[in-house]
Amino acid sequence: MKLPNYIALLAGALVMGGNLHSAVAADLSQTEERFVYCTVCHGSNLKGNEDTGAPRLSHLPEWYLLNQLNAFRHGWRGVHMQDEGGIEMRPMAEALSEDELKKVLAFVGSKASDIPKATFSADLAHGKQLFAACAACHGASAQGNQALNAPPLAGSSDWYLKRQLMHFKQGLRGDDGADMNGNTMRASAALLADEQAVDDVVAYIQSLN
């Protein structure tokens, strides 16, 4: 009596396991279909695309992706008319439901892409000096620090990092009073004297890859 019961149970578990497996697979492929449009701007496997100005996403941790999607949704980021990239991205973030917001993080997390190559060179020695101040929050290898909400910078395209630093300096990002992380970073960007200093520090970050 016991053995057949056991077999029936096991068979049941296998069938359930099978169903569960295909349910998860179906869910993932639905997620893939639903968010494939992100790659239209952000490139295949979310590797970034300089032509559309959409950065690499595949290396970014969930907590930072969520912070930024919320920054766009709160209207902290992508609201200045001169911030062309942000203006394109904000409606994409706004269109996500709460459920989709969770799912899109899994979608981004499922992608892998190569580290982007340098697109410009600058004074690395000067960049290294400047980066000492950044390392306090972003980490010595620019790996990021969740406790401080400071994202990884290593692995992001140099052209994108440069644009963000210029935007922080110009007040196109991080100037909303409620955007505490943006405010923090804006104050740090102000310490970079000019565009040359931005180029130097970004070239140094790129060299850490």
Residues near ligand HEC (CB under 6 A)? 35, 37-38, 40-42, 52-55, 57, 60, 65, 67-69, 71, 85-86, 88-89, 92, 104, 108, 130, 133-134, 136-138, 148-151, 153, 156, 161, 163-165, 174, 181-182, 184-185, 188, 192, 201
Contact (Cβ atoms closer than 8 angstroms) between residue 150 and residue 67: no
Asked if 202 contacts 168 with a C-beta cutoff of 8 angstroms, the reply is no
Q: For the CB of residue 53, give the shortest distance to ligand HEC in the complex, in Å.
A: 4
Tell me how many degrees the CA angle 65-190-84 measures, rounded to the nearest 5: 50
Q: Which two tokens stand for residue 164?
A: 């963000």
CB of 25 to ligand HEC, least distance (A): 21
> Could you tell me the smallest distance in angstroms from the CB atom of residue 180 to ligand HEC?
8
Name which of 13 and 136 has its Cβ closer to ligand HEC.
136
CB of 11 or CB of 180, closer to ligand HEC: 180
Q: Could you tell me the sign of the dihedral formed by the alpha carbons of 23, 60, 115, 163, in that order?
A: positive
User: In whole angstroms, how close is the CB of 29 to ligand HEC at the nearest point?
Assistant: 17
Residue among 16 and 199 whose Cβ is closer to ligand HEC: 199
Q: Which is nearer to ligand HEC, 1 or 192 (CB)?
A: 192
Nearer to ligand HEC, 18 or 75 (CB): 75
> Which amino acid belongs to residue 172?
L
Instruction: Compute the least distance from the CB of residue 118 to ligand HEC, in Å.
Output: 15
- Distance of alpha carbon 169 from the chain centroid: 20
Q: Least separation, in Å, of the C-beta of 42 and ligand HEC? A: 6
Is residue 13 a contact partner of residue 20, using CB atoms and an 8 Å limit? Answer: no
Amino acid at 78: G
Q: CA 58, 145, 159 angle in degrees (round to 5)?
A: 50
How many angstroms separate the Cα of 19 from the Cα of each of 25, 26, 34, 68, 139? 10, 10, 22, 36, 44
Residue with Cβ nearer ligand HEC (9 or 167)? 167
